[in-house]
Structure formats: C-alpha cells, structure tokens
Structure 1
C-alpha cells in the first residue's frame, strides 16, 4: 500500500474508531513513516550520547535490492509479515491476509497501551497489518514464491506498465520477457510492479507454483480498513480482542469504498491530496476536518524537529542530546520499531517454526 492508505485512510479510520485528532495523526504518521525511515545506524550526539536507529525501508523502495539478510530484517517484519503456514521456510515466509501471526502482532501492540511509544507502535504495527492484504502471496525474502508470470491488469497493457517504471527498471526490462523480470526482482512483489498497492486494481498472474492468482484490491483494501477500525477501537478501549469490536459505520464504508475506487491517479501523493480534501469537505460521514500535511524528510519532519538534521546522511553531524529529543516522535518511532521487530523476529515467528533473524 502507498501513502494514500497508510496515512490518509489510516487517519480516517483512526478518527472513526474513536481516537482524538492528535492521537490519530501520530498513528497515521508512524504508519506511513515506515516507508520513509531509510536512515539506519547510530545517531551520535555532541556530548557523546548515542541512539540506535533501524531503517524500516530501503531508499526509494528499491525492489531490486538483493541483499537477503538485510531484506529479512526490513521487508519481512514491516512489509511482508509471514503467516507461518506450510512446511518449508519459503512457504512459512509467505504473507497472508489477516493471518494468525498478524493478529497476534496487533494484540501485542494493543498490550503496550499506556507506554510512551504506544501510539507509534500501533502505527508501525498497522502498517505491517494492512500490508498483509496488499502483499499477500509474496515473501520478504528471496524466494521462488515471488515469481510472477503472465502479469495482466484490466486497465493496463504490458506496454503501459513498462511506461510506469522508473528509468533504471525500464532499461532493465523493456527488452526482456516476464520470466527474466521475475528473476531480476526476487524479493517481495517487485515482479508484480505497483499493482498490489493500487486500491482499485484488478489484476492476475501465474505464481511460483504455476497457479493462476486473481486479485481485486478494492474489497481487500476495504477489509483492511475495517479491521484497522476494530484494532483502533480495541486500543482505545484497552482490550486485546479487537476482532470482536465494531468496525466502520455503513455510511462511512460506502463513502470510503467509492473514494478508493474512483481516486485513480497513478501518483499516490496526489491520491492522498484527494483523500484529505474528501475529509475536509464532508465526503466521509462523521468527519469534517483538515488533515495536517505529512512531512517525511527535511524541514518540519519528525527527524528535524528532534535533532535539527535534514539529511539522510547524518554520519558527520552531531546534534545536542536533550530532553526534547527523548520526548520526540522521532525517538519514540525508532524505539517502537525496535520493539516491533524484536517481538516478531524473536518471539512470535520462532513459535511458528520460522527463524529469520
């Protein structure tokens, strides 16, 4: 999923689920920031203090990244949450929508309610949770399960999807067949391009088991929104049985479904603008408010507010450590990331027979 869902829809659902605007904003920002936190390593302060950060995405969402050890720490816990189903590692690593593993991850986040990283942890968790619908059938490790053949979508020919690629990727694939593309992009849904992340897309392909897979994203994205609403209601109520909580109101469901179906700009940031305008103009029943702009990097970003730093490459900078840093969204987000990753890789997945870190 892209920023239109991770920030826009998650904000809407959090508000409809009973969160106050400030809390909903923190959750939505953390949810989207998972795709934008690309700086890892130790942040060193002028007085000698240090703070560990862990990147939750590769720069520019690099689907061609083939460093499998790094993929297992980035794509697996944050973008392709394994369902832990099957016999082999490849089978267990495949992401499945609303899996038992995914629900347990949500419950663990709700359990942290009341801690100073709770909202950020919920946002990080919701990113991984909703992505189980979008990224189903793919794995965050190098795997034959990620092979894609005969990729087609209702609204796009092969020439059309080639035109949508970045210059580097287009150069790679414009004279090769899909079998070569799927080998060149072995991690996650790289070989399926952006179709898994477009709310309206209807598409199909043949997977690594030589089975045809038919996908219609809209009802799956709406199910993700519904379950997110239940998770938020449970969080607000302080209870872990989120599956049994009420979901979205019927009128809000209808309005959001129409919005996701008709908001088809290929630029996800422009889709976000449309969603924010809808919230402001009463398109979503029960909401009529301005959604603050999301700032990923530079002036106004979480990192800048906490440290004064604007660049990804901050290895030579030495900001001053302060109490303001300790109370910042930036520090809380990165600590939430470390908590989330530990719970998944060290506690939940090993009980499902899956050791990836």
Structure 2
C-alpha cells in the first residue's frame, strides 16, 4: 500500500470511527511514516553527555532495498512492520509460517496491544512524556502493519524462495484478458514482494502472478482487497476507547462506496491519487484551522524534534551512515514531547513485541 491508503484512507477511517480530527490525523501520520522512517543510524546531537539519538528504522527506500537480503534487516524492519506472520510462534512450532495472511490473528493481537490504555500498557513509563501521543503513534504504526496484511498477502518478510515470482499478469483498464510479463527483477532479493515491484501496493491495479506459495491464478483486484482492509480497520477502530473529545461515528455503509471509488482512481501518480482523497474528504476535518490539514509531508514530524541550519537536511533519504550532514542536527527543546520522538518509542515497542513472538 502507498500513501493514499496509509495516510489518507487511514485518516478518514479513524475520523469515521470516532477519533477527533487532530487525533485521527496523528494516527494517519504515524501509519504513513512507517514507510518513511529511513533514519537507521545514530544521530549525534548537541545534548547532555554527548548522547546520540538512535531511531528505529521501519523502511528502506531506493537501493537500500538490497539490504533486504540480510536477516538482520528482515527481522528488524520487514517482518515487524510490513510482513507480519499470521500466527506467533509457539514451540515446537507446528503450523507456524512467515507468509502474510489478511487480517491475521497476529496482526489483530498487535493492533489490540497498541490500543491499550496507560494502565494496561507494558512500556517504560519514564521514557513516555505524552502517553496520549505515544498511544496514537502506536495505533498508527500497528494499523500500517495490519493494513499491509491485505496488500502483502502471500508474501513474507524473509529472503526465501516463497517470494519468488515466476510470471506477472497485468490487466489493462476495462480488459478481461491480461498481458503477460516475464519477471525482470531477479537481481533483487526474494524478500517481500520485491520481485512483484509495486503491483501489490497500487490500489487501482488488477493483476496476478505465479509463485511457489501462490497457486491461485485468479486476478487480484487491489481496489476490492483494499476496501476489505478498510472495512476491517473501521470495525476495529470503532471498538477502541477514544481520547476526549470524540467525534460522532460514521457507519461504514455511508463511506464504503466513496472509499472504493477512490481506490479505483488511477490518476497520473500517487500524488495525484492523494490529492483526490484530500479533495473528496477534506470536509471531514473542517474543525481544524490549519490550511495544510489532511496533507502529508514526511518532514513535518522531523521538524518538531530536530534543528539544522540547512532546511534540505530534513530530506535525509540519501544520507549514508557516515554522512557528515548528520552532525548538523541539534535537539529542539521540545524533542522529548515531539511526535517524532514518540513515534520511535512506539516503533521500538512494536518491534520488540513481534520479535519476542518469533522463533
């Protein structure tokens, strides 16, 4: 799934499920930032005792995808955040497998854990300065993983032949017969859906493929799959205890067709599809005064936490671990109250929660 689902659709679903506009968009931002948190190196900052911020990488971009060949990255990044197994491991392990299944028990358990209140949450409280913000970040991160169980079904987060794609079928709009494509991505590691490219993540596509683990030759209509995921998320969020103030619940049947319509829209690119979501649903957030409301920018949360003399430093996707530009960052006074900080604390807790339940 891409930004159109992980931010825009999640924002709509959270608001419809009764969260306030501000809280719904915090959940949505955390959900999408899982795909943008590429900060996987220590950040030296001008702070007491020369501490280094050690963020939790939850994604790789560009050529960094090649790191997916390493088990250390698979178990720390891909499995806990994008390809959760359907069941947690219980010795001796009969029935356990890594291949992701939609709406699985493990994913539901993860989401339920993220929704827990302060009294139930098993976290190191002195490190959590704003529990409400921390909880919203946890919910958003868990929703990303939960939603991905639909888009990433039949793939796993490990490097294994179960992810090898033999052939790909893509159906053009309004066509019943597919065009056949030979897979040209054999140089990539068999981690996740690397060999299928972005096909599982694009909401409007109708496609299919052959693999060892995928024996169903029927076409996959992503719009229908994504709508099923959205319905399940709306149902799960509707059960969650909301922080005050709450918003009135909007029944799923009132938004179902509108959401399905957005998934079917191809547009020019993902940004065009996101603009369509914003145009269609922005009235849901009319109580917010911000002119940039319901608009995602991956640098926003970084700017709440860190200072740098150069604005372009916040776009750090191409920084290497030894890049000297990391040395330009300093902590803002509000760092330990920032959503950036609480996102990484929440991501760390989710990673541990999943890894503790793997073999």
Global fold match (TM > 0.5): yes
Q: Give unpaired runs (5+ residues) of structure 1.
A: 163-176, 239-245
Tell me the equivalent position of 1:52.
Answer: 54
Tell me the equivalent position of 1:315.
Answer: 326
- Root-mean-square deviation (CA), in Å? 2.9
Distance 1:196 1:116, change over 3 A: same
Deviation at 1:90, TM superposition (A): 11
Secondary structure, counterpart of 1:332 in structure 2: helix
Secondary structure, counterpart of 1:111 in structure 2: coil
- Please show how residues 66-215 of structure 1 align to structure 2 within 5 Å: 66-84=69-87, 92-112=97-117, 115-155=132-172, 177-178=182-183, 181-182=185-186, 184-209=188-213, 211-214=215-218, 215=220
Tell me the equivalent position of 1:166.
Answer: none
Task: Work out the number of aligned pairs and report it.
Answer: 317
Question: Does the 8 Å CA contact 1:8/1:272 hold for their aligned counterparts?
Answer: yes
TM-score w.r.t. length of structure 2: 0.79
Deviation at 1:269, TM superposition (A): 1.6
Q: Deviations over 1:314-347 (max 9, x none)?
A: 532241453x11110110111111011111111x
Deviation at 1:84, TM superposition (A): 3.2
Question: Does the 8 Å CA contact 1:33/1:296 hold for their aligned counterparts?
Answer: yes
Distance 1:120 1:204, change over 3 A: same
Tell me the equivalent position of 1:33.
Answer: 33
**Structure that is richer in helix per residue:** 1
Deviation at 1:183, TM superposition (A): 5.9
Q: Deviations over 1:98-151 (max 9, x none)?
A: 011001001100114655410011111100000000000001110111011221
**How far apart in 2 are the matches of 1:271 and 1:333?**
26
Distance 1:142 1:276, change over 3 A: same
Distance 1:294 1:237, change over 3 A: closer
Q: Deviations over 1:247-305 (max 9, x none)?
A: 843121111112211x112511211111000113x6xxx676774321113xxx21122
Q: Give unpaired runs (5+ residues) of structure 2.
A: 119-130, 244-248, 320-324
TM-score w.r.t. length of structure 1: 0.80
Tell me the equivalent position of 1:333.
Answer: 343
Secondary structure, counterpart of 1:54 in structure 2: coil
**How far apart in 2 are the matches of 1:40 and 1:64?**
15
Deviation at 1:52, TM superposition (A): 2.0
Question: Does the 8 Å CA contact 2:305/2:331 hold for their aligned counterparts?
Answer: no
Deviation at 1:235, TM superposition (A): 2.3
Distance 1:104 1:266, change over 3 A: farther
Secondary structure, counterpart of 2:42 in structure 1: strand
**How far apart in 1 are the matches of 2:52 and 2:263?**
43
Deviation at 1:73, TM superposition (A): 1.0
